[in-house]
Amino acid sequence: MKFGDTPLSNAVGAILAHSVRAGRTSFKKGRVLSDADIEALRDMGIESVVAARLESDDVGEDEAAARIAKAIAGANLEISAAFTGRVNLYAKCDGIVDYDLERLNAINLIDESATVALLPQFAQVATRQMVATVKIIPFAAPEAVVAACEQMSSDNLVRVAPFRERVVGLVQSSLPGTKNSVLDKTTKVLSDRVTALGGTVKAEQRCDHKSTAIHTAIKALIASGCDMVLIAGASAITDRRDVIPSAIVEAGGEIDHFGMPVDPGNLLLLGHIGKIPTLGLPGCARSPKLNGADWVLQRLFAEIPVTNRDIMAMGSGGLLKEIPARPLPRAEATVASVPSAPKIAAIILAAGQSRRMGATNKLLIDIDGQPMVTRVANAISASSAAPVIAVVGHQSDKVREALRSEAIQFAENRKYADGLSTSLAAGIAALPSDIDGVLICLGDMPRVSAANIDRLIAAFDPLEGRAICVPTYNGKQGNPILLARRFFGEMVEITGDRGARHLIDGYHELTCEVEMAEDSVLVDVDTPKALEALKI
């Protein structure tokens, strides 16, 4: 890859390395410069730009990131579209992140141009939470580097091991003076802990803190169908020959490991009776705060084997107690702090009277065997946007029939004759409360694809200044437009026959242009001439 100061005479097709702005005209870094861009830059009085130009053995940043992401992604992972050389991987289910640490390090040691970042091994994740990000550091990576990363990841580097449903039995032992309120609180805390991992506490046995009594309680729970047994003792386990481990052995079980380099959680006991995991819990497990027992339970629920060596290797990161430099309470250090895929909805504006098309409702015109609005809706439904809300008004019944699908929701706009703004307001009003952003889609763009939609969503990141995402082709802006939730209030205040596009001018610093590979984002069909020129 060639990089450096480039005369405009040699800059067509080069990648702009730094944003350039003069007045209201701007070009953001990463833009592939066209002939029209060069003329505009000359008009701005610019004679050269810092740019990158790919060579024959280079792989563009988006393609490189996408190839590596596809190679590393194992089971239960969703791959985002590439944007600015980054691809994110998101969990498709609740579970545990499982990968080979040595292979991850080997990939990152191949070359500085290609990087893979993952959550810590065996981290708990929830559906839609980010698990990994692949980032190409420069504007391209050598083909040899990308191929080496793919080869190193050929068997899939990372997966999410899903939690399986488990039927759990709980034993609580007591000594004279043990309060029932303490036992009741422990039952609630442990039931919540098990439920969060997809399991159920089916039965509980309370007994004296004696090995024979605990042994009897364990046998009763196993006989009732429990496939995991948790034991909360009235007194901490201090030795492999103590009351609780003795009870497990008396019940026909074996002790796998006692103790762990995790605090709180040091006094955990792991054993098994046949194929049934049996845990003697540390006293800290009576609290909802994170402790070493959680790390073991998470792996067991995800059917990831836990050996004594695995437990002994938990010391890195095993100090869970709060310290002045990290005052976050353990109870708050949950999977909720992990970045998640943005929740992006889509609104299809399908209420207009299509006056420029004449007597025909343009949305119902047959395009390659389908009504035009159906083609648009199918493309959006195939993307990661959800829900998809169609705003209907003019010829509402016919448009609803064309869009009959479980994937489409409807919002009625009875004021459609008052202009586009009324449809926009109706669509915003129908959005769920937890949406992060919305795509405003026109119903007369039959060539828009799911790939276009997903590329816009991949670019969306309000925290990094990309709160409005606009598709472009050869530098010309098109549709649909993706806007963050912060703009919803302004959108519903728009009047007349206007949409949300004017927000781009008002929030230039928050707008990101997303270049597309083809011109479909520029093609709308609102006149007979446009219909005649349409190529599918």
Residues in the chain: 536
Residue, of 91 and 24, whose pLDDT is higher: 91
The answer to whether the CB of 530 falls within 8 A of the CB of 363 is no
The architecture of the domain spanning 344-533 is Alpha-Beta Complex (3.90)
Report, as an integer, the average pLDDT of 318-339. 54
Question: Is the pLDDT assigned to residue 354 strictly greater than 90?
Answer: no
| Bond preceding residue 387 cis, omega within 30 of 0 | yes
Sign of CA dihedral 292, 297, 298, 300: positive
> Does residue 128 sit in helix, strand or coil?
coil
Which residues is 207 bridged to in the sheet? 173
Question: Is the pLDDT assigned to residue 325 strictly greater than 50?
Answer: no
Report, as an integer, the average pLDDT of 379-386. 96
- Say how far residue 212 (Cα) sits from the centre of its chain: 49
The label of the residue with tokens 């836990």 reads 306
Q: Please tell me the predicted confidence (pLDDT) of residue 28.
A: 84
The label of the residue with tokens 């708050």 reads 332
DSSP H or E segment with residue 57:
none
**Alpha helix segments (H runs only) across 57-142:** 61-72, 101-108
Question: Is the pLDDT assigned to residue 331 strictly greater than 50?
Answer: no
pLDDT tens track for 240-258: 999 999 999 999 999 999 9
Burial letters 265-286, b for 16+ CB under 10 A, else e: bbbbbbbbbeebbbbbbbbbbb
The beta strands (E) that lie in 386-436 are given as 388-392, 408-412
Q: Please tell me the predicted confidence (pLDDT) of residue 406.
A: 74
Report, as an integer, the average pLDDT of 447-468. 94
Distance CA 422, CA 363 (A): 18
* CA trace torsion 184, 189, 191, 194 (10° rounding): -160
Distance CA 112, CA 343 (A): 32
Identify the DSSP state of 199: -
Q: In CATH, which of 3.10.20.30, 3.40.50.1820, 3.40.1350.10, 3.90.1170.30 is domain 58-162? A: 3.90.1170.30
pLDDT tens track for 2-60: 999 999 999 999 999 998 876 666 788 888 898 988 998 998 889 999 999 999 999 99
DSSP H or E segment with residue 228:
strand 228-232
Which residues is 258 bridged to in the sheet? 269
Q: Does the domain formed by 2-53 have CATH 1.10.3470?
A: no
Q: Please tell me the predicted confidence (pLDDT) of residue 165.
A: 96
Question: Is the pLDDT assigned to residue 333 strictly greater than 60?
Answer: no
Question: Is the pLDDT assigned to residue 531 strictly greater than 50?
Answer: yes
Instruction: Please report, as a single letter, which amino acid is at residue 149.
Output: C
Q: Please tell me the predicted confidence (pLDDT) of residue 65.
A: 98
Taking the CB of residue 20, how many other CB atoms lie within 10 A of it? 19
**In the chain, domain spans:** 2-53, 58-162, 167-329, 344-533
Report, as an integer, the average pLDDT of 281-293. 95
Distance CA 415, CA 467 (A): 29
pLDDT band at 336 (very low <50, low <70, confident <90, very high): very low
Distance CA 404, CA 32 (A): 40
Report, as an integer, the average pLDDT of 497-513. 87
Residue-by-residue DSSP string for 436-482 = SEEEEEETT-TT--HHHHHHHHHH-BGGGTBSEEEEEETTEE-S-EE
Helices (H) and strands (E) in the chain, counts: 16, 30
pLDDT tens track for 401-431: 999 887 899 999 999 999 999 999 999 999 9
pLDDT tens track for 172-183: 999 998 999 999
Question: What does the block give as tokens for 456?
Answer: 């816009």
Question: Is the pLDDT assigned to residue 126 strictly greater than 90?
Answer: yes
Distance CA 310, CA 300 (A): 12
Mean pLDDT of all residues in the chain?
A: 93
Distance CA 501, CA 481 (A): 8
Q: Please tell me the predicted confidence (pLDDT) of residue 327.
A: 43
pTM value is 0.85
Question: Is the pLDDT assigned to residue 338 strictly greater than 60?
Answer: no
Q: Does the domain formed by 167-329 have CATH 3.40.980?
A: yes
Distance CA 254, CA 308 (A): 13
Least confident of 33-47, 130-144, 295-309, 391-405: 33-47
| Pairing mode, strands 114-118 and 437-442 | unpaired
Identify the DSSP state of 119: P
